[in-house]
Structure 1
Amino acid sequence: MLALTELDGMYHLDPAHSSIAFVARHAGIAKVRGTFESFHGWALIDGAQPEHSALLVSVKVSSINSRDANRDGHLRSPDFFDVARFPAITFVGTDFRITGENLVEVDGDLTVRDVTRPVRVSFEYEGGAKDPFGNERIGFTGSTTISRADFGLTWNAVLETGGVLVSDAVKLEFEVSAIKQADAPH
């Protein structure tokens, strides 16, 4: 297995073997989980000089799936993501630091509803492998927590117990499998 510092080249995100998920508290007592089913992205990785790396991920917001059609419809509405006006969420990596043998931090710009805020995502490098089709793959697991209010997602309902229906804090979780592009220049 290649060490994190040995990775080099252009990698495309494999949506069939990756996930972008979210977790938010509902009524202060339960966690609601969901995913975005449609996304694409790439990373230009220079493990020896991580500051030369680049990353872009784009998510089709209408692909949101929280396992409840009514909730998904509300999340697509102007109360939340307003997918008719803002069809994509993007993350552009701007700074990359290796912080441990298998750990990397990526600072970047997250854009939701045309509001861009800096976000730091911590990733763990899960290793690399050659699949049965000859593709060189690498894997990362990562997460970060954001404030939805920072992105204009402020809809809520006050509960008679004094809390709110939807937490402001939303945890984003990433399971990434990426395929090295053999003919991409570096």
Structure 2
Amino acid sequence: MRVMRFAGVLVVAASLSACTAFNVATHRVSGDPVDAPGGTYRADPQHTSVTFSVDHLGFSRFVARFNEVAATLEAVPGAPEKSKLDVTIKAASVDTNVAELDRMLAGSDFFNAARYPDIRFVSTSIVRTSQGTGEVAGDLTMAGQTHPATFTVTFNGAAPDPLTGADKLGFSAEGTLDRSEWGLANWWPAVGNEVRFHIEAEFTKPES
């Protein structure tokens, strides 16, 4: 009897594996955001990254990232200018791969994460520049100061997730800012003031 049950489990597991493999192999996304279902989406933390780079003594661009990112997208595909994006990054999650530097950046001489734990971006306008690209402008708050920032966005695709069936949207974004505008000018000129951001994000529409 146990052998039969075990064999049954193997058959079910094999069927599920074959179904998953088929779903992934036949998975296709639409590159036109108009095809995406509207509604509220949340960033998938396992497939979303925010990295940034700064000049280091003219030798290279030093690359770091934030490990805790949350975002909500109110998507209106037929009228993207009506969509809304709200992003919150935990300042203390800055990750340079150098523990002492992480502590310095999170400390009172830079982000001051104890007093200002959140870095926040709230969109004020979204403009579609082509079928799959656009510009998102908004208010960026860091270390207690708020200034405008603009990011260029590429829409990568929309489709149901082949593994979960949930509606998903994918984006890439880039932007450049002058950190000194937010009062974060420490270590210049050894560290450049120009900060280049690169963002990869997958948004999932939760089941209602």
1:121 counterpart = 2:151 = yes
Partner residue in 2 for 1:137: 168
| 1: CA distance, partners of 2:207 / 2:40 | 8
Query: Is the contact made by 1:9 and 1:181 (CA closer than 8 Å) also made in structure 2?
Result: no
| Identity between Structure 1 and Structure 2 (%) | 30
CA offsets per residue over residues 26-49 of structure 1, 9 Å max, x none?
112111111110111110011211
The number of residues matched between the two structures is: 177
Tell me the TM-score normalized by structure 2: 0.82
CA offsets per residue over residues 73-99 of structure 1, 9 Å max, x none?
111122211111111100001101111
Q: How does 1:79-90 map to 2 (within 5 A)?
A: 79-90=109-120
1:26 counterpart = 2:51 = no
| 1: CA distance, partners of 2:181 / 2:58 | 20
Tell me the TM-score normalized by structure 1: 0.91
More helix by share: 2
AA aligned to 1:138 is L
AA aligned to 2:91 is V
Query: Is the contact made by 2:159 and 2:169 (CA closer than 8 Å) also made in structure 1?
Result: yes
Partner residue in 2 for 1:53: 83
SS of match in other structure, 1:91: strand
SS of match in other structure, 2:110: coil
Structure with greater contact order relative to length (CA < 8 Å, sep ≥ 6): 1
More strand by share: 1
SS of match in other structure, 1:40: strand
SS of match in other structure, 1:79: coil
Q: Structure 2: where are the runs of 5+ without partners?
A: 1-28
Partner residue in 1 for 2:9: none
How far off its partner does 1:70 sit?
A: 1.4
Query: Is the contact made by 2:33 and 2:158 (CA closer than 8 Å) also made in structure 1?
Result: no
How far off its partner does 1:57 sit?
A: 0.4
How far off its partner does 1:182 sit?
A: 3.6
SS of match in other structure, 2:127: strand
AA aligned to 1:176 is A
Partner residue in 1 for 2:196: 171
1:181 counterpart = 2:206 = yes
Q: Structure 1: where are the runs of 5+ without partners?
A: 158-163
Over aligned residues, Cα RMSD in angstroms?
A: 1.2
| 2: CA distance, partners of 1:59 / 1:114 | 13
1:146 counterpart = 2:171 = no
| 2: CA distance, partners of 1:155 / 1:57 | 25
**Bigger Cα Rg:** 2
Of 156, 181, 186, which residue of structure 1 is paired with 2:187?
Answer: 156
